[in-house]
Structure 1
Amino acid sequence: MNMQTDVSPVRSHPADAPAPRAGAAKFTADTAAVFIREILLLLRDPFSLVFSLLQPLVFLALFGPLLTGALGVGSTAETLQWFVPGVIVMIALFGTSMTGSNLLYELMTGSYERVLATPLCRSSLLVGRALKEFAPLVIQGLLIVLVCVPFGFELYPFHVLAGLALLGVFGIGVGALSCALALAAQNREWMFWTVQQTLLFPLLILSGMMLPLDTGPAWMRTVALLNPLTYIVDAERALLGGAVADPAVARGVLAAVLTCVVGLVVGIRRTRRTV
C-alpha cells in the first residue's frame, strides 16, 4: 500500500518581522535617512560652515560703513537694520546654490551610483538633500544677528525666527534646483559652475540686497520685479525690523513657497530620470 505524504516546504513568517513600509511612510523614512546622512557629512567637516561666515562678516565690517552715507542715515545701527537682512539672504543664496557641487563630487567618484542601488526612493534622495540646507541657514543667520546686536542692531527674537523659517523654505527650493543642475551637468563640471555663477550675481545685484535700487535706472527696477529674490529680501527686512504685518512679508512668503515648489518638482523629476 503506497502512502503519499505532502512534503511541500512550509514557509515561516516570523511574527516579529517588520512590515515593509509603503507610500508616505516609506517616503518619510527614506527622506529622514538621507537628511541624517547629509547632516553627518556636514558635522564631520564643519570648516565649510565656519568658512562661509567669513565673507558675510567682511561685508558687514567693510561694506556696511560705506552704506551709511549712501542710504542717507545718521547711524551705524540704522545701516545694520537695513543691511543685515540682505547679508543673511546672501548667505542663503551662496550656500544653497552650491549644494549641487557636493552631488557633482559624488557623481564623479561613483558614490552616488551606490546610493541609487539602495532601496531608497528617488524622490527622497532629492528632498533629503534639500532639507539639509535648512539647518546651516538657521545657525549662520542667528550668528550673524547676534554678532550685530552689540553694534546697535535691534533684535526681535520671534521675528528673526520667522525670517529664518522663510529663508529656509526658499533655501530648500534653491538647493533642489542646484541638485537638478548638477544631475543635468553630470561629468561636465564646467557647465554647473558656468550656469551657477552666471545666474548668481545678477540675482544678487537685482534684488537690492547690497545696494538700494530706488536710485537705479528704470529698466533695473523693472527687472528686479521679476526677481523672486527681491521679494525675499524685502520680506526679511520687514521681519527683522519688527514689521510682521508689512505687505512685503506676504509677498516674500509667496515667493519662497513658489521657489520651493518649483525647485522640488524640477529636482524630483530630474532625480527620477537619473540612471
Structure 2
Amino acid sequence: MPSLRAGVLERLAVTPAARPAPALGRMLTDVVGLLAQSLLVFAVAVLMGFRVSLPGALLILGVMVLLGLLVASFSYALALTLRDETAFSSLVNFVTLPLILLSGMLVPLSYAPAWMETAGAANPLRYAVDAVRALARGDLAAPDVPQAFLVLALLTALTVTWAARGFRRVVP
C-alpha cells in the first residue's frame, strides 16, 4: 500500500481519531464512488427504456452498497495482510475471473454444467447477481433478495472487522 510506505498511516496514529476510522473512511469513500457510478448507470438505463419500481431500485442500490463495502473491506484487509503490491495484484487477478464466471453474471449458471452450478453456490457474488436479477424483473418477494442481503451483510461484517484489525496492527 502506498499509504503504508509513505507513512500516512503512522501520521494518522497521532490524531485523536479512533483506530478503525482510517479504514472505515477509505471503505466509505469507495462505496460513495460506487454509489455515484451506480446512479449514473441507472439514469442511462432508464433513458434507454429500463423500468424498475422505486422500491426495487432502492433495494438494488442496497445490494450494490453491501457488495461494494464487502469488496473494499476485503481488498484493504488483504492488502494489509500481504503488504506487497505485486502479490496483492496477482492474487486479485487470480481470484477475480473465477468469481465473475461462477456468479452467473455473464451467463446464467442454469446453462452451465452441474459442477459449475454447485461451485457457484459458494460464491457471494452469485447471491448479489440473483437478487438484482429478481429485483430488475420486479419480483421484490423473491427468496433471492433476503438471502443476498443476509449473505452480503454477514460477509461484509467479517471483512470490515478484518480490515479494521489490520489497520490497528499497522498503526499501533
In the superposition, the TM-score normalised over structure 2's length comes to 0.91
| Residue 51 (structure 2) aligned to one of 149, 154, 161 | 154
1:95-174 matches, within 5 Å, as 104-174=1-71
**Which 4+ stretches in 1 moved above 4 angstroms?**
none
Residue matched to 1:258: 154
| Residue 242 (structure 1) aligned to one of 117, 138, 152 | 138
Output the aligned Cα RMSD.
Answer: 1.5
Which of 196-205 and 151-160 deviates more?
Answer: 151-160
The structure whose RCO (Cα within 8 Å, separation 6+) is larger is 2
CA drift at 1:248: 0.7
1:18-167 matches, within 5 Å, as 104-167=1-64
Q: Distance in 2 between matches of 1:114 and 1:228?
A: 36
Q: Distance in 2 between matches of 1:151 and 1:231?
A: 26
SS state at 1:263 partner = helix
Residue matched to 2:80: 183
Letter of the 1:205 partner, please give it: L
In the superposition, the TM-score normalised over structure 1's length comes to 0.59
What count of residue pairs does the alignment treat as equivalent?
171
- Alignment of 1:224 with 2:120, yes or no, is yes
Q: Distance in 2 between matches of 1:240 and 1:135?
A: 22
Q: Distance in 1 between matches of 2:66 and 2:110?
A: 27
Q: Distance in 2 between matches of 1:173 and 1:151?
A: 30
CA drift at 1:226: 0.6
Residue matched to 1:27: none
SS state at 1:133 partner = helix
Q: Distance in 1 between matches of 2:98 and 2:69?
A: 20
**Structure 2: segments with no counterpart, 5+ residues:** none
Residue matched to 1:271: 167
Contact 1:137 1:164 in 2 (8 A): no
Residue matched to 2:93: 197
